[in-house]
């Protein structure tokens, strides 16, 4: 296959360029690229007209998804003349469209009653809350504004007539679109939110493949066969490797995909040094990091698609949901039914459809686990599951789950924080007051939490473990960086003050009663554990790195949280979606989390999340291109 290098103009994505590009995508997606622009005159022009009088500037604050949003609002009389977002910590590629669009619509309509931006709902509400707060500082309320009565709706734009439709603008969809365009096909890309990037734009950017140019440059002797052996752990047990043919296809194509990202897409792999996984170390250091994270890889792909949009070979239609896959009388895919954010429903013909709709780890109703949260973006809603199932696709592995442990449910289902399971000296306690596993082996945590009553585990430590430089709480989000030690301790103290998911006490009995742990058993557990520390032997679990729990005791209540899904649409080695009888549905393809991690990489290891998404997007695009 042709992976000839493109112009290197997109290489060397610096941090500044990446963030600038992300902001551009956010603004463009809100007003033009999506084909969904606010109706009426330019909001910038309206703002200029309103700003001709003397305006006072007021500051307001609201709660976004990642923290406070601070705005400065210009007010003249009862009119808002300007809105400036001066401080925020939202995820760039997800939130930029909301941070751009909401102020424009509020100024234009002189009303806070404007629609939230799809995919950035919490940011939208937080921004409107901040504007309302600024109004209150001026002695005004929303009802005092001189509403213009202008439309707040959007006007949907039709896609070009295209060979292939790609549903989903995450890494799978972006990869599929670029590869299909490279194959000479025209493409219409539909994304239901107001931004591109999906889950990958908030990832750390680790991706893996075997036998790559980068490996050879390092002198690493790797091969697809070695990768397959690693993914399957040498097992042919269907419980371990349920779909060996697809796992082999993934292993055999992963290196080609990596070279394509490297030489054609010009993804910046930084120092180009391979590494090992955080979990079971692979046989070769084949995991490579994208400079500036997964969002930078998304941006490199988006730039290529944008170029093709300008040439008339592609469309990017945001805030557009595929609500039905159309078929002809013979059962082959013939197009899509698209529902726009304003409620309009239209049908468009396509020769093939590629589904890159992501997973369902942000859909609590689809979780087989009790008390399981999610750190995935809200786009991981499971919509693609329903879409494919209605088209006759066979759906698999939904009941198989592999959540992470230690999520702190301080915000309910949304998991932003995790108890640090690697904090030296901690112990893991269930509701019955007993230890759960060898705490020196974090890999055991998933199983331990899965076996615990209600899937609840308490991370317990003492002031002896709470020393300078250590973090009792860490972030589940890669993009935010990490909490500093003092931020981590401050967060712990604030959670203790609320008394809902964290507590401290001078005695084990008092701590247990506050946290809802069996007090008698917990007291006995602490005494026994401290005796083992004195003896230097842990007869219960064989732990070696033990530290006595003395002084003030702490407990953090935690539950499992989901990052990726194991189940999805059944596909063959070509990425062709199969029906209930396991026959290909002509013209329907899928990849990424939409097909589930177990199907592509036998459950996945480090780098396989993005690897699965990009590789199966690449495979599906090649197959769809050949089909049409």
Give yes or no: residues 394 and 410 share one domain: no
pLDDT of residue 278: 57
Give how far Cα 588 sits from Cα of 254, 485, 575, Å: 22, 49, 9
Query: Which element (helix H / strand E) includes 374?
Result: strand 373-374
Give yes or no: residues 94 and 203 share one domain: no
| Better pLDDT: 455 or 122 | 455
Model confidence at 317: pLDDT above 60: yes
Give yes or no: residues 225 and 332 share one domain: yes
Model confidence at 534: pLDDT above 60: yes
Model confidence at 28: pLDDT above 70: no
Model confidence at 286: pLDDT above 80: yes
Q: What is the CATH number of the domain that holds 380?
A: 3.50.50.60
Model confidence at 563: pLDDT above 70: yes
Within 13 A of 296's CA, how many CA atoms are on the CB side? 26
132-151 confidence digits (pLDDT tens) = 999 999 998 888 887 665 55
Give yes or no: residues 418 and 554 share one domain: yes
Q: With the CA atoms of 117, 123, 129 and 132 taken in that order, what torsion angle do they form, in degrees rounded to the nearest 10?
A: -60
Q: Calculate mean pLDDT across residues 409-423.
A: 83
Give yes or no: residues 207 and 271 share one domain: yes
| Better pLDDT: 12 or 522 | 522
200-257 confidence digits (pLDDT tens) = 887 778 999 999 999 999 999 999 999 998 888 777 777 778 889 999 999 999 999 9
| Better pLDDT: 573 or 482 | 573
Give yes or no: residues 138 and 96 share one domain: yes
pLDDT of residue 260: 98
Residue 24 belongs to a domain: no
What are the φ and ψ backbone dihedral angles of 245, each rounded to 5 degrees? Answer: -65, -35
Give yes or no: residues 394 and 443 share one domain: no
Give yes or no: residues 504 and 587 share one domain: no
Task: Name the token pair of 589.
Answer: 């393809």
Question: pLDDT above 90 covers what percent of the chain?
Answer: 51
Q: What is the mean pLDDT of the chain?
A: 84
Last residue of a domain, one of 109, 125, 152: 152
Domain containing 136: what range?
Answer: 40-152
Tally of domains within the chain: 3
Residue 592 CA to residue 198 CA, distance in Å, equals: 11
pLDDT of residue 304: 97
Longest CA pairwise span in the chain (Å): 79
Task: Name the token pair of 575.
Answer: 């990425």
379-392 confidence digits (pLDDT tens) = 778 889 999 999 99
Last residue of a domain, one of 99, 122, 152: 152
Residue 127 CA to residue 109 CA, distance in Å, equals: 16
Residue 399 CA to residue 123 CA, distance in Å, equals: 32
Last residue of a domain, one of 544, 562, 580: 562
Burial class of 153 by CB neighbour count within 10 A (0 to 12, 13 to 18, 19+): middle
Please name the residues in contact with 312: beta carbons below 8 A apart, sequence gap of 6 or more.
Answer: 160
Task: Name the token pair of 60.
Answer: 């307001």
Please name the residues in contact with 487: beta carbons below 8 A apart, sequence gap of 6 or more.
Answer: none
Q: What is the CATH number of the domain that holds 475?
A: 3.90.700.10
* Residue 579 DSSP one-character state: B
Residue 326 belongs to a domain: yes
Task: Of 53-62, 231-240, 444-453, give the lowest mean pLDDT range.
Answer: 231-240
Q: Calculate mean pLDDT across residues 335-340.
A: 96
Residues listed for the chain: 628
Which stretches does DSSP call E strand in 64-199? 68-76, 79-87, 154-155, 164-167, 187-191
Give yes or no: residues 389 and 419 share one domain: no
Residue 278 belongs to a domain: yes
* Residue 153 DSSP one-character state: -
Residue 7 belongs to a domain: no
Residue 106 belongs to a domain: yes
Q: Are strands 345-349 and 333-340 parallel, antiparallel or unpaired?
A: antiparallel
Residue 16 belongs to a domain: no
Residue 423 belongs to a domain: yes
* Residue 74 DSSP one-character state: E
- How many angstroms from the chain centroid is the CA of residue 121? 15
Candidates 370, 331, 332, 379; CA nearest to 352 is: 332
pLDDT of residue 376: 75
pLDDT of residue 485: 85
Torsion sign (Cα): 598, 601, 604, 608: negative
| Better pLDDT: 128 or 586 | 586
Residue 507 CA to residue 552 CA, distance in Å, equals: 7
Give yes or no: residues 288 and 316 share one domain: yes
Model confidence at 398: pLDDT above 90: no
Residue 363 CA to residue 384 CA, distance in Å, equals: 12
* Residue 628 DSSP one-character state: -
Q: What is the CATH number of the domain that holds 74?
A: 3.90.1010
Which DSSP string corresponds to 264-281?
TS----TT---B--SSSP
Q: Calculate mean pLDDT across residues 256-278.
A: 91
Q: Residue 363 — pLDDT band, cuts 50, 70, 90?
A: confident
Candidates 160, 170, 95; CA nearest to 127 is: 95
Give yes or no: residues 440 and 492 share one domain: yes
Give yes or no: residues 409 and 530 share one domain: yes
Which DSSP string corresponds to 401-470?
---EEEE--TBTTB--EEE-TTSTT-EEE-TTS-B-S-TT-GGGHHHHHHHSGGG-EEEEEETTT--TT-
Within 13 A of 165's CA, how many CA atoms are on the CB side? 31
Residue 436 belongs to a domain: yes
């Amino acid at each position: 296959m042709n992976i000839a290098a493109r112009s290197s103009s997109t290489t060397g994505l610096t941090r500044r360029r990446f963030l600038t590009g992300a902001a551009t995508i956010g603004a463009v997606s809100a007003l033009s690229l999506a084909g969904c622009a606010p109706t009426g005159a330019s909001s910038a022009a309206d703002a200029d007209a309103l700003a001709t009088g003397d305006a006072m500037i007021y500051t307001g604050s609201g709660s976004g998804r990642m923290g406070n949003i601070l705005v400065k609002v210009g007010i003249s009389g009862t009119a808002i003349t300007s809105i400036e977002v001066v401080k925020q910590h939202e995820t760039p590629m997800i939130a930029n469209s909301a941070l751009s669009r909401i102020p424009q619509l509020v100024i234009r309509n002189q009303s806070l009653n404007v629609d939230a931006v799809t995919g950035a709902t919490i940011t939208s509400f937080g921004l409107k809350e901040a504007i309302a707060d600024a109004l209150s500082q001026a002695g005004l309320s929303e009802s005092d504004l001189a509403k213009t009565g202008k439309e707040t709706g959007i006007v949907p734009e039709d896609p070009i007539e295209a060979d292939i439709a790609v549903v989903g603008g995450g890494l799978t969809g972006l990869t599929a679109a670029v590869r299909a365009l490279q194959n000479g096909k025209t493409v219409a890309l539909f994304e239901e939110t107001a931004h591109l990037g999906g889950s990958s734009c908030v990832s750390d950017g680790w991706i893996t493949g075997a036998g790559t140019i980068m490996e050879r440059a390092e002198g690493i002797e790797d091969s697809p066969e070695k990768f397959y052996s690693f993914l399957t752990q040498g097992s042919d047990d269907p419980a371990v490797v349920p779909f060996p043919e697809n796992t082999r296809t993934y292993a055999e194509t992963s290196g080609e995909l990596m070279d394509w990202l490297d030489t054609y897409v010009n993804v910046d792999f930084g120092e180009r040094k391979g590494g090992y996984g955080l979990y079971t170390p692979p046989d070769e250091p084949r995991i490579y990091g994208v400079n500036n994270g997964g969002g930078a890889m998304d941006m490199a792909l988006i730039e290529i698609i944008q170029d093709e949009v300008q040439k008339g070979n592609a469309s990017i239609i945001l805030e557009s949901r595929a609500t039905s896959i159309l078929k002809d009388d013979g059962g082959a895919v013939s197009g899509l039914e698209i529902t726009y954010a304003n409620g309009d429903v239209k049908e468009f013909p396509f020769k093939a459809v590629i589904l890159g709709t992501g997973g369902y780890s942000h859909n609590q109703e689809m979780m087989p686990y009790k008390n399981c949260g999610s750190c995935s973006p809200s786009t991981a809603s499971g919509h693609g599951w329903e879409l494919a199932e209605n088209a006759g696709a066979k759906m698999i592995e939904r009941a198989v789950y592999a959540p992470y442990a230690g999520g702190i449910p301080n915000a309910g289902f949304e998991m932003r924080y995790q108890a640090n399971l690697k904090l030296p000296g901690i112990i893991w306690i269930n509701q019955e007051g007993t230890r759960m596993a060898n705490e020196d082996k974090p890999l055991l945590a998933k199983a331990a939490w899965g076996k615990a009553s209600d899937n609840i585990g308490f991370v317990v430590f003492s002031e002896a473990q709470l020393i300078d430089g250590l973090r009792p709480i860490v972030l589940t989000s890669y993009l935010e960086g990490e909490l500093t030690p003092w931020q981590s301790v401050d967060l712990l103290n604030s959670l203790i003050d609320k008394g809902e998911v964290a507590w401290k006490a001078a005695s084990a009995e008092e701590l247990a009663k506050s946290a809802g742990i069996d007090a008698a058993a917990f007291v006995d557990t602490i005494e026994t554990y401290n005796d083992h520390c004195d003896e230097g032997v842990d007869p219960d679990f064989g732990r070696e790195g033990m530290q006595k729990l003395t002084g003030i005791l702490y407990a953090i209540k935690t539950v499992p949280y989901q990052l990726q899904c194991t189940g999805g649409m059944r596909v063959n080695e070509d990425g062709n979606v199969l029906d209930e009888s396991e026959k290909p549905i002509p013209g329907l393809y899928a990849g990424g989390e939409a097909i589930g991690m177990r199907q592509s990489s036998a459950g996945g290891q480090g780098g396989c999340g993005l690897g699965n998404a990009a590789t199966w997007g690449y495979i599906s695009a090649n197959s769809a291109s050949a089909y049409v």
